[in-house]
């Protein structure tokens, strides 16, 4: 079990179980024991557990600006037994509730699309019927209507895309038995890695043993490189301060 995990800033997005391990690599490459993560019973059933994270997680957060970054939905396929799957289904937000949430979000985002779509329809209605059959009519109007229609359709597609998170059910007491963090990598050690917290000690032990090749340990080369960067920063600041002091005399 890794004790160096930066769990403080993960408060609220990670269940605070005492059994914790930090593993490198993507979620889909995890190996799970054939036992329920919640109660430890033997099982081969899997439940896709989805979580919504900021897109600029891990080392990317250092490069992120204040502008809207969007989000990503990550899925882990966690083993649960039939009884625990049934309990999860009971506790989980209903599909109808999730759709209501999504439709509410989509309606608000649809609003800006009304203007280009309305204008496109208006343009199409202004086209006069051709005087002779077979004559091309309203070429410019059609082209403009196409452009405005396309931008309206783009806004509708964005509304659909941007409300995917509404369909992710809130975690239940069952899915919280095995929890995972977003990517917590650093600039200098930026291979993807996550922290996993587990309620059941026996499950945690089996899970850690199966993934022991991927347990993260700080790379000494990366630590040294980070130290060098900090020293360079301090030297630069000191030189800048001395230069400023000399110039101000």
In the complex, the residues that contact Zn ion under the rule CB under 5 A are 36, 38-39, 41, 81, 84
Minimum CB separation of residue 174 from Zn ion in Å reads 8
CA angle 238, 240, 246 (to 5 degrees): 105
Alpha carbon of residue 192 to chain centroid: 13
DSSP string, 162-193: HTGGGGSPPP-TTGGGEEE------SSS-S-E
Q: Residue 32 or residue 59: which is nearer to Zn ion going by CB?
A: 32
- Is 185 in a helix, a strand, or coil? coil
> Smallest gap, in angstroms, from Cβ of residue 88 to Zn ion?
9
User: In whole angstroms, how close is the CB of 94 to Zn ion at the nearest point?
Assistant: 22
Query: What is the closest distance, in whole angstroms, from the C-beta atom of residue 80 to Zn ion in the complex?
Result: 6
- Two tokens, residue 201: 């000690």
DSSP code for 129: P
Cβ closest to Zn ion, residue 57 vs residue 81 = 81
Written as six digits, the tokens of 116 are 């280009």
Cα 232 to Cα 59, 121, 147, 225, 227: the distances in Å are 20, 61, 52, 11, 9
User: How far apart are CB 201 and Zn ion at their closest, in Å?
Assistant: 15
Residue 23 or 85 having the CB closest to Zn ion: 85
Segment (H or E) for 17: none
Nearer Cβ to Zn ion (47/123): 47
- Of 85 and 184, the one with the shorter C-beta distance to Zn ion is 85
Q: How far apart are CA 171 and CA 239, in angstroms?
A: 52
CB of 68 to Zn ion, least distance (A): 39
Angle, vertex CA 183, rays to CA 181 and CA 186, nearest 5:
130
- Based on CB atoms, which residue is closest to Zn ion, 38 or 208? 38
* Three-state SS at 157: helix
Q: Of 65, 62, 66, nearest to 188 (Cα)?
A: 62
């Amino acid at each position: 079990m890794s004790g160096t995990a930066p769990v403080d800033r993960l408060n609220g997005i990670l269940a605070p179980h005492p059994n914790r391990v930090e593993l490198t690599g993507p979620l889909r490459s995890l190996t799970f024991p054939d036992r329920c993560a919640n109660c430890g019973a033997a099982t081969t059933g899997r439940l896709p557990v989805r979580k919504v994270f900021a897109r600029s997680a891990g080392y990317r957060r250092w490069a992120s600006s204040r502008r809207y970054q969007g989000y990503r939905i990550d899925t882990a396929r966690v083993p649960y037994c039939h009884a625990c799957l049934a309990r999860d289904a009971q506790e989980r937000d209903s599909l109808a509730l999730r759709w209501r949430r999504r439709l509410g979000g989509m309606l608000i985002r649809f609003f800006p699309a009304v203007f280009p779509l309305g204008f496109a329809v208006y343009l199409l209605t202004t086209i006069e019927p051709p005087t002779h059959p077979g004559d091309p009519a309203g070429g410019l109007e059609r082209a403009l209507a196409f452009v405005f229609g396309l931008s309206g359709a783009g806004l509708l597609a964005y509304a659909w895309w941007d409300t995917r998170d509404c369909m992710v059910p809130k975690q239940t007491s069952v899915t919280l038995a095995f929890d995972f963090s977003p990517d917590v990598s650093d600039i200098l050690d930026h291979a993807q890695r996550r922290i996993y917290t587990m309620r059941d000690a026996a499950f945690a032990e089996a899970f850690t043993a199966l993934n022991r090749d991927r347990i993260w340990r700080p790379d000494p080369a990366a630590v040294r490189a980070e130290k060098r960067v900090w020293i360079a920063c301090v030297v630069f600041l000191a030189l800048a301060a001395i230069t400023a002091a000399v110039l101000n005399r």
